[in-house]
Every structure is written in structure tokens, then in C-alpha cells.
Amino acid sequence: MFLIDQRSRKPIYEQIVDNVKNLIISGSLKRNDQLPSVRQLAQELSINPNTIQRAYAELEREGVTYSLKGRGSFVGSSLNDLRTSETEELLDDIFKTCISLQKMLCPKDRIIKKVEEAYNVGEGVDKRD
């Protein structure tokens, strides 16, 4: 269920954070579901437990999960909360990148074409006439 790329530039603990969020967004983890224990996940992924611990701490800090002493970590955010905040972040990235592209004199249409392309690739043709 967790996909980690050891060679990626993105720190492993961030990848774990993203993985958990995606599992929530995809519906695999629901509110109040328990996350795998630090030790178990560490063993499963062959990753240092400190790294898992750090990821869980970060998730808790962001309010995505909560922990009960001696019991473990549990999903706190609802699917919708998370989906909304993540979406806003990504739209912000789009915005910033567009500003740069405009400075490079890239015509707006090229970007829009790219967006269409992504939506076609990702989902199959979504326009049927």
C-alpha cells in the first residue's frame, strides 16, 4: 500500500506523509481508522523506525492524524477536509508556474492544451460527442 522511492530527492518521511494522505483521499483509510504501528511499517518498508516516527509526528502536527497514548495513531481528517486543502495547494502551484511561464512569453493556450492533455491521459477521453 505504501510506495517509497529511496532514491527520490524527496525525503522518505515526506513520502510517507504523502502516502498516508493519499490513502485517506482515496478512501482506503477512513476517519478513526488505525494507522499501522511504527515498528510494523518500518519492518514492512525496511525503513528506519525513526523515519516512520517522524512522518507520524508530522501528520499529527498537521492535524491529519491523532495519537492515543499506548494505543497508536488514528486518522483524524475527513476525506473531504484533506481533499480540499491538498487541492488548494496544488492549484497554488499551478498559479505560480503560470506566472513564470507568462514571463517566458509562453502563450496561455499551450498551458491549457497541457492541462487538457493531462486530463485525457489520466482518465481516458472525458469528452464524448
Partner DNA sequence: GTGGTCTAGACCACA
Cell numbers representing residue 75 in the block:
486518522
Which residues in 62-81 contact DNA (CB under 7 A)?
67-73
Q: Which is nearer to a second copy, 69 or 128 (CB)?
A: 69
Ordered DSSP codes for the chain: -----TTSSS-HHHHHHHHHHHHHHTTSS-TTPBPPPHHHHHHHHT--HHHHHHHHHHHHHTTSEEEETTTEEEE-S-HHHHHHHHHHHHHHHHHHHHHHHHHTT--HHHHHHHHHHHHHHHHS-----
Binding of residue 93 to a second copy (CB under 8 A): yes
CB of 85 to DNA, least distance (A): 21
Binding mask 32-61 for DNA (x = CB under 7 A): ---x-xxxx------xxxxx-xx-xx--x-
Residue 86, binding choice from a second copy, DNA, none, Cβ under 5 to 8 Å by partner class: a second copy
Using CA atoms, how far apart are residues 104 and 119, in angstroms rounded to an integer?
24
**Judged by CB under 7 A, which stretch of 5-13, 17-25, 94-102, 120-128 contacts DNA?**
5-13
Contact positions vs a second copy (CB under 8 A): 6-7, 11-12, 22, 25-26, 66, 68-69, 83, 86-87, 90-91, 93-106, 108, 110-112, 114-119, 121-123, 126
